[in-house]
Amino acid sequence: MAEPAPGLRALPHAVFLERMAGAPKASSSEARLGRAAFVALRLVDLLTHDRQALHAGAFHYQHVATERACRDLPANRTETTHLVGLVRSTAEAFQAGDNSLALPALFAYAYCLEDELRLDEALDVLDTTLHVGGEALQPPDRIAIRLRTARVLRKQNQFETAEAAYATALRTAHAAGDHRSAFLSRLGAALVTQARGNLSHAELLLREILADLDRQSYPDLEGATRHALGTTLLLRGQIPDALGEVWRAFELYEDESSRLRALNDSGVMLLALGRVEDAERALTEVVRCGGARDNVSNALIELMHCASYRRDRVAFARRRAECEARAQDMPPNILVDFRLKAGIGTARFGNLRKAGALLAAALDVAERGGLHEFEFRIERIMAGLDDCEPEIAVSELAAAEPATTSQQLEAVCASVARLGCDAVSDKRLGC
């Protein structure tokens, strides 16, 4: 299809028109979903109009047209279910004169888009939710929308805007006496600090949250905080300690999505400790269970990395192809990680020219996304390639330390070995 027309972004919900314009064919499922999402959100916009000034038949005709657009959607897509539900709840809200009836469907649709890594679209729907709710939004709903918006902004590496959103959520939570949301706001702000590269301060913030949580009864929040602390320690090079925190988070989490994320990060750390088989076992379980698209993408990238570490050329090629099929929908931080590790793996197999091209592509993504920590790592690795010293380059590219052991590590590995057994189903990893 044609490129988006100039000035397209000035239109309401233009991000969905961009999806339609970027689809290969006007009849493709993505084009139809983009068109249906656009008209559905334009229907939602009518809820904010003056009911008296609105032409009597305007909502009815637009509702009929929107329903017609939704009938043409692929039945096997989760987004179709959300759009159909959104149109239905919008009609109910209009008839009852109560905009709050449309808010749950809007919020659920935003979550679906975030899960599919359609982050610009998720932000559009969250903004619409705030606009439709208006002054009638109850504090819990307003806080939840702010927190979700901040998280999406953080995933987009819009760190300053994300920090501001978390600060707004924290103030609102304190005013409402919502201690849980206040903790979530503090945790989100600490994760932004981590993403900015200030690891020592991020660790301090997370340990302060843990100390405060000791006086509360929020096991899931303790899990989330320990998980964040573990990833921070990983970035600081304290891998055994990091693994202990993340595995503790895995044990504390109740919901499947969070447990899978912790399992994915545990796999990364096991590989970093040279426990390749244990890492592959954990990561394979993440892919098997599915779930959030970004988490599965991360697991596939790490499985590709494991294959290159083992010098398994066939497995590396297969995993790389699986990752490449998902690359178009990867956000910058995941895409740069994929290109980087594809370059590392290619170098391990001796093809330094191709590795250099992949690393250059990774560096380009990192520079455009403002991912400075990635930039430093990639530039260091590329310098080794430019010196044309294959043995040194491959040695420098080795991502894992020699296999180490400790009582805690062996306990984690034993738990990983039981994945897929009754012990997992008992913890509701229901996949």
Helices (H) and strands (E) in the chain, counts: 22, 0
d(Cα 206, Cα 120) in Å, to the nearest integer? 28
DSSP 8-state assignment for residue 17 = H
pLDDT of residue 25: 75
C-alpha atoms less than 13 angstroms from C-alpha of 278 in its C-beta half-sphere: 25
**What is the Cα–Cα distance from 27 to 194, expressed in whole angstroms?**
43
CB 99 within 8 A of CB 132: yes
Task: Give the integer Cα–Cα distance in Å for 257 and 290.
Answer: 9
The owner of tokens 């909502």 is 59
pLDDT of 3 reads 47
Q: SS3 of 157, please?
A: coil
List phi, psi (to 5°) of 330. Answer: -80, 135
Question: Are the CB atoms for 349 and 316 separated by under 8 Å?
Answer: yes
Q: What is the DSSP string of 347-358?
A: HHTT-HHHHHHH
The pLDDT, as a whole number, for residue 28 is 84
Q: Where are the alpha helices (DSSP H) in 273-312?
A: 276-289, 293-309
The tally of CA atoms less than 13 A away on the side-chain side of residue 133 is: 21
Q: One digit per residue, pLDDT tens: the chain, 431 residues?
A: 444 445 555 678 999 988 888 777 767 888 899 999 999 999 999 998 877 667 768 888 999 999 999 998 998 899 999 999 999 999 999 999 999 999 999 999 999 999 888 899 999 999 999 999 988 888 999 999 999 999 999 988 899 999 999 999 999 999 999 999 999 999 999 999 998 889 999 999 999 999 998 766 789 999 999 999 999 999 999 999 999 999 999 999 989 989 999 999 999 999 999 899 999 999 999 999 887 888 999 999 999 999 999 999 999 999 999 999 999 888 888 999 999 999 999 999 988 899 999 999 999 998 887 777 788 889 988 887 765 454 434 444 544 455 566 788 888 888 888 875 544 444 445 56
Report helix, strand or coil for 55: coil
Q: Which two tokens stand for residue 33?
A: 């979903």
Other beta carbons within 10 angstroms of residue 307's beta carbon come to 22
The amino acid present at 55, given as its one-letter code, is H
Hey, CA dihedral for 361, 378, 120, 86, is it positive or negative? positive
Q: Is the dihedral of CA 84, 66, 92, 9 positive or negative?
A: positive
**Residues 226, 228, 296, 106, Cα dihedral to 10°:** 100
User: Residue ranges of the alpha helices (H) in 156-255?
Assistant: 159-176, 179-196, 199-213, 219-235, 239-252
Distance of CA 318 to the CA centre of its chain: 24
Separation between Cα atoms, residue 228 and residue 203, nearest integer Å: 9
DSSP-based three-state secondary structure for 369:
helix
Q: What is the DSSP letter of 377?
A: H
Distance CA(423)–CA(63), nearest Å, equals: 49
Q: What is the pTM of this model?
A: 0.79
Residues 6 or more apart in contact with residue 360 via CB below 8 angstroms: 382
